[in-house]
Structure 1
Amino acid sequence: MRSTAGSTEPTGAATRPEHEDRVSRFSTAERMVHRATGWLMLLCLVTAACLYLGPLAQLVGRRHLMVTVHEWSGITLPVPFLLGLLSPVFRADLRRLNRFAVYDRQWLRAVRRRRTSPESRPAGKFNAGQKLYAGWIAGAVLVMMFTGLLMWFMGLLPFVSRTSAIFVHDILAWAITFVLLGHLRKAFEDPEARLGMRTGYVSRSWAQRYHSRWLREERADDGAGGPADRRMT
């Protein structure tokens, strides 16, 4: 590739979508869905704590406001996901999350045997832990919405008592809290993963180390003129 006068950079370098040492991981649509869902989930948990924990409820007060915010943040929780379905990149990653491959089972076996080297934990764009988390949290949110609607609209299902709905809702809320804390802990342990969700790009060396199968897929797509140009959708 030719260089312009007075410059050591190739003429096409400024127009390339990513640097040689960076690789596109998440599109703008995916990052917006993740961010909006995270804020709505946080709002649900904070308002639930203000309703459930006595000392906090007394400190905050405004119970009717907390109930209203909690109900509507819960009802709107799936909205970012549904809007994200308009993005082909988002839908492609959903298919990745729903596909459990042989190397995912190898990843889980390596975790159980406490192997820490990335070579012993092969992964595609998402590792087996991320796939299990995504599936679990999606199911938990659906159950929370269902039980919340039963509590909100009494008589929706007469054969299900309000007490039963409250019990399931409360137990699952605690489970979600602990799982989310584990998710945040893992995220804070990996600054590069957070960078990928914040900017959309990760270092090529990180991708090669922790998601080598995905990086090979990206290289194959680039060489074949595949979806590499659609990742910013």
Structure 2
Amino acid sequence: MPGTLPLAEVLALNSHTTDIHTHRTYAYNGWTFELPPGVFRPDASSRIVHDRLLDGTIELAGRSYAAIGAGAGVEAVIAGTREAREIYAADIHPDSVATAAGHYERIVGERPETLFHPLVSNLFEEFPGSVRLDVITFNPPAVSVKTSDDPTVIRNVCVGTDIVTRFFDQLTDRKLLAPGGEVYLVMSNTAQLKEITGYAMDAGFTPEVLHRQAREDDNRQAYFFKLRADS
């Protein structure tokens, strides 16, 4: 597991001019997602998750699934097309939840076999206590340093390690994972990977690296983790 990139390099990689406050679009699998201001545009790390949901690496059919940080709703749409039994599209940002719900309704539509729950929630805080999830995905804004003074950029990019430790605390304290359930995280070495995976192990999870993606033009490496609760 690589160490976190040096501070100056993390800042250089994440201090570009953002278009987060503009209307944008995102194309994936022949679908077009409209992105209002404030809604995160999926990046290369997000696409790692999208591809694994779409190709069946992450099994969804007949399972209860939560997309934490639902954003534009790409994960929810894929889950609907892959016949998940239940889908929670959760995000702390109300406009993102509304956007995800709109895309789900337009692309997937009514599926009697699938229950769809758009949910404004800080991680799992607003999830019903009775929920037991078979699959969870999360691309956390875990960049290790504050890269902007813009609250919207911070929310989407650089909350830091704390958001992932709270993720595991809530997951374990509320016993939200069904027996045999799976957690999938994607993070890069702009985050504190060693500290985060160590915390997950202390919380009772065994991490496995399913995919590593290096960039040709800089030193970023994205890691796609599968985590299971220890028996």
Query: In which range does the TM-score fall when normalised by the shorter chain?
Result: under 0.3
TM-score, structure 2 as length reference: 0.28
Q: Structure 1 length as normaliser, TM-score?
A: 0.28
* Bigger strand fraction: 2
Flag the structure with larger Rg: 1
Report which structure shows greater RCO (CA 8 Å, sep ≥6).
1
